[in-house]
Chains A and B, each alone.
Chain A
Amino acid sequence: MSTEITPLWEVFIRSRGGLAHRHVGSLHAADATLALQAARDVYTRRGEGLSLWVVPSNAITASDPTDRDMLFEPTASKIYRHPTFYEVPDEVGHM
């Protein structure tokens, strides 16, 4: 078995102009140049995109799934953040 681990990269593709880059998967490569070439071969064989990003996986900081309730519950309880919370008479028309 190889003793050295080839670094892991996350791959993002912009599929069309005007859209954001979207995560599509990951791959191993020794450096950024090789990661970009590998991403092109592995993830874009059928016109999937116009632009690629590769990011070292260990550069990503993620939220902990067990903190989910603490982090995101307040967004569910603040219903006044949604437009439908406010009453506008029908006569006023679309707003």
Chain B
Amino acid sequence: MYSQGLNQPTEASADSPEQARFQARIDAEDKIEPNDWMPDAYRRTLIRQISQHAHSEIVGMLPEGNWITRAPSLRRKAALLAKVQDEGGHGLYLYAAAETLGVTREELVDQLLSGKAKYSSIFNYPTLSWADIGAIGWLVDGAAIMNQIPLCRCSYGPYARAMIRVCKEESFHQRQGYEIMLTLSRGTEAQKAMAQDALNRWWWPCLMMFGPPDSASQHSDTSMQWKIKRFTNDGLRQKFIDATVPQGHFLGLTFPDPALRQDPETGHWQHGEIDWAEFKTVVAGGGFQATDRLEARRKAHDEGAWVREAALAYAAKRQARKTAA
């Protein structure tokens, strides 16, 4: 579903001839492939970013999975199941892309389960009502698409290819979410209030999904230079707001930001102050759902262990028989 600007600052220097050649290839829009020479910092940055992105997809299944059994109709249930299955698939494409950089799946999973790795802060918020499923599809997936479309042109080939697959599938997620919001906002007063409440709770966390403001983000320069990142956090956030505000007004809903107004000259929607202290707390796993999310992942991993072991044991037994015959 999404990656967030959580990366640590990295050092880039173009001192060695290899580094100069590497940068020249990037500047020429050449894709870097797994066996190509790359600076250690490029490798580390990508492993961190792609795995955080993969973890976000996997953890992202939890808040929505919460509502599968309570979806209001078979149509909604089938769509939500398909969406959650997609998120799982996206996590798998991304893990596979990260593994091409020389890290094992087992290590990556371990980093998530041990709490060492980060994932998108958005999934640490609870899904309290059915309208939250609409708001997540419309807003969270909408924000994710803004982030992910430029990643299809990322300089690292396997990541770019994974993102092309992800983006193709993501559009259905956003549309099904908006349809839920539309149905609720055209329904009874209580349904409309439910949609408004969901928008009120998800709007600010969604703006935070784009990561810290450019003025506070130290790693953008290197990531931009390496063409891992194509747009700044603030630039993408603005695009998201400009696209989303009219959609919200069409629903007849209001945004929980008294300072929100359209600049008559530029046409851009200007937003109020974002609470970055909350962002930091949620990323660090404070409050909300962080403990539950990781516990749910650990439980699923532990309870699936016997299946993985049995499958490997069976494969080894068959292999041994084949060798003996």
Q: Do A and B truly interact?
A: yes
Report A69 CB to chain B, min CB distance, Å: 13
Contact B318 A31 (CB under 8 A): yes
Contact B35 A30 (CB under 8 A): no
Query: Hey, which bits of chain A sit against chain B, CB under 8 A?
Result: 1-2, 4-6, 8, 24-31, 34, 41-42, 45-46, 62, 64-66
Report B170 CB to chain A, min CB distance, Å: 12
Contact B311 A34 (CB under 8 A): yes
Contact A30 B162 (CB under 8 A): no
Contact A65 B92 (CB under 8 A): no
Which has the most chain A C-beta neighbours within 10 Å: B33, B96, B314? Answer: B96
B106 CB within 8 Å of chain A: yes
Set of chain B residues within 8 Å of A41, measured between Cβ atoms: 85, 89
Chain B, residues 33-47, CB within 8 Å of chain A (1/0): the string is 101110000000000
Set of chain B residues within 8 Å of A42, measured between Cβ atoms: 89, 92-93
B110 CB within 8 Å of chain A: yes
Report B10 CB to chain A, min CB distance, Å: 23
Set of chain A residues within 8 Å of B89, measured between Cβ atoms: 41-42, 45
Chain B residue nearest to A34 in the complex (CB): B311
Chain B, residues 285-325, CB within 8 Å of chain A (1/0): the string is 00000000000000000000100110110110010000000
B268 CB within 8 Å of chain A: no
B169 CB within 8 Å of chain A: yes
B107 CB within 8 Å of chain A: yes
Contact A30 B315 (CB under 8 A): yes
B99 CB within 8 Å of chain A: yes
Set of chain B residues within 8 Å of A25, measured between Cβ atoms: 93, 96, 161-162, 165
B261 CB within 8 Å of chain A: no
B105 CB within 8 Å of chain A: yes
**With contact pairs A65-B35, A65-B36 given, residues A8 and B308 touching in the complex (Cβ less than 8 Å):** no
Those 5 A-B pairs whose CB atoms lie nearest each other, nearest first:
A30-B311, A31-B315, A1-B110, A30-B315, A26-B96
Residue tally, chain B, CB below 8 Å to A:
30
Report B68 CB to chain A, min CB distance, Å: 17
Set of chain B residues within 8 Å of A29, measured between Cβ atoms: 311
B104 CB within 8 Å of chain A: yes
Set of chain B residues within 8 Å of A6, measured between Cβ atoms: 105-106, 308, 311-312
Report B55 CB to chain A, min CB distance, Å: 15
Report B123 CB to chain A, min CB distance, Å: 21
Report B282 CB to chain A, min CB distance, Å: 27
Report B54 CB to chain A, min CB distance, Å: 13
Report B98 CB to chain A, min CB distance, Å: 11
Bound CA–CA A48/B99 (angstroms) = 24
Report A38 CB to chain B, min CB distance, Å: 8
Which has the most chain B C-beta neighbours within 10 Å: A8, A25, A30, A46? Answer: A30
Contact B105 A28 (CB under 8 A): yes
Contact B86 A45 (CB under 8 A): yes
Set of chain A residues within 8 Å of B109, measured between Cβ atoms: 1
Bound CA–CA A26/B162 (angstroms) = 11
Contact B85 A27 (CB under 8 A): no
Report A64 CB to chain B, min CB distance, Å: 7
Bound CA–CA A37/B264 (angstroms) = 55
Set of chain A residues within 8 Å of B106, measured between Cβ atoms: 1-2, 5-6
Report B169 CB to chain A, min CB distance, Å: 7
Contact B308 A5 (CB under 8 A): no
Set of chain B residues within 8 Å of A31, measured between Cβ atoms: 311, 314-315, 318
Report B273 CB to chain A, min CB distance, Å: 41
- Identify which of B86, B93, B99, B169 contacts A8 (C-beta below 8 A): B99
